[in-house]
Amino acid sequence: MTIQGLLLDLDDTLVDHRGAAERGLRTWLTGLGLAETAVELEDHVERWFALEARHYERAQRRELTHTEQRRVRIREFLPGWDLADDTLADDVFAGFLGCYQAAWRAFDDAAEAIERALGSGLRVGILTNGVLEIQTEKLRRTGLLRADVPVFASSELPAAKPDRRSYLTACSGLGVAPDATLMVGDSLRHDVVGAHAAGLSALLLDRLGWYDATRAGVRVDTVRGLAELSLAAALHQRY
């Protein structure tokens, strides 16, 4: 089947979410006086991302709202603070949020990859787990928002990745059959395994070369950057 559509993940695929969160977190913690030593700072960063992974995933499963997962995270991150009041918890989280948003950056290869895909005749969309308004604003601020590239965010979908309904709804929105669509992203579970289960082709974006097929037990096609996407070949074959 000829590849006719391309779905791109957003966070850590097009936009450097992890880098922005780390930079924003360091700025925020330093301002609060909570990172007096480098070791202390690193401990806080590790805890923050562990809480994000746990509770953001719960929000994607619709166990919590987006706002509720923020409150749970900030309360667990700062257990010694009295953040029982929702308004206060929201205000404290907003301190981090402002620093995080100020650090948003698109990867250098993102805009060119989208342009090249469109120029190759592919229909291109962005499939992301997140709130549509937030993810759209992220794309706008990083210069990646385009009228000809629809954004499919889990807040507006029947379910989040890796539920097969997310990919199928996005494919329908692109007007391309699943078996003619290529999904590209940095998450093995969300962007490869889930996409395969829904009948799409998939590539794992492994920017740092961390993926080890031997340890993971799953051998998948990988690229180290979006510039490596062989879009011309993708038009004529399935990955």
Please give the residue that has the higher pLDDT: either 15 or 209. 15
Can you give the C-alpha Rg of the chain in angstroms? 19
pLDDT at residue 218 above 80? no
Q: Answer yes or no: pTM beyond 0.85.
A: yes
E-assigned strand segments in the chain:
5-8, 123-128, 151-153, 181-185, 201-205, 222-223
Among 1-15, 129-143, 144-158, 215-229, which stretch is predicted with the lowest mean pLDDT? Answer: 215-229
> Residue 41, class by beta-carbon neighbours within 10 Å (0-12 exposed, 13-18 middle, 19+ buried)?
middle
Q: What's domain 5-16+106-234's architecture?
A: 3-Layer(aba) Sandwich (3.40)
Both ends of the chain: CA-CA distance in Å? 10
Encoded tokens for 158: 């029947």
Nearest CA among 43, 67, 38 for reference residue 55 = 67
At 236, is the pLDDT very low, low, confident or very high (cuts 50, 70, 90)? Answer: very low
The topology under which CATH files domain 17-102 is DNA polymerase; domain 1 (1.10.150)
Mean pLDDT over each residue of the chain, to the nearest integer: 91
Nearest CA among 140, 148, 185 for reference residue 166 = 185
At 37, is the pLDDT very low, low, confident or very high (cuts 50, 70, 90)? Answer: confident
pLDDT at residue 118 above 90? yes
SS3 for 5?
A: strand
**Contact indicator for 140, 115 with CB cutoff of 8 Å:** no
Per-residue pLDDT reduced to its tens digit, 3-26: 999 999 999 999 999 999 999 999
Give the position of tokens 């990988």.
Answer: 222
pLDDT at 110: 97
At 213, is the pLDDT very low, low, confident or very high (cuts 50, 70, 90)? Answer: low
Per-residue pLDDT reduced to its tens digit, 187-206: 999 999 999 999 999 999 99
What distance in Å separates the CA atoms of residue 239 and residue 74, rounded to the nearest whole number? 41
The strand order across the sheet containing 5-8 reads 151-153, 123-128, 5-8, 181-185, 201-205, 222-223
Cα 1 versus chain centre, distance: 28
Cα 66 versus chain centre, distance: 15
pLDDT at 42: 86
* pLDDT (mean) for 38-65: 91
pLDDT at residue 232 above 50? no
Nearest CA among 144, 139, 229 for reference residue 184 = 229
Domain range annotation of the chain: 5-16+106-234, 17-102
Among 11-15, 83-87, 185-189, 206-210, which stretch is predicted with the lowest mean pLDDT? Answer: 206-210
* pLDDT (mean) for 146-162: 97
SS3 for 81?
A: coil
pLDDT at 129: 96
pLDDT at 237: 54
pLDDT at 28: 94
**Contact indicator for 148, 122 with CB cutoff of 8 Å:** no
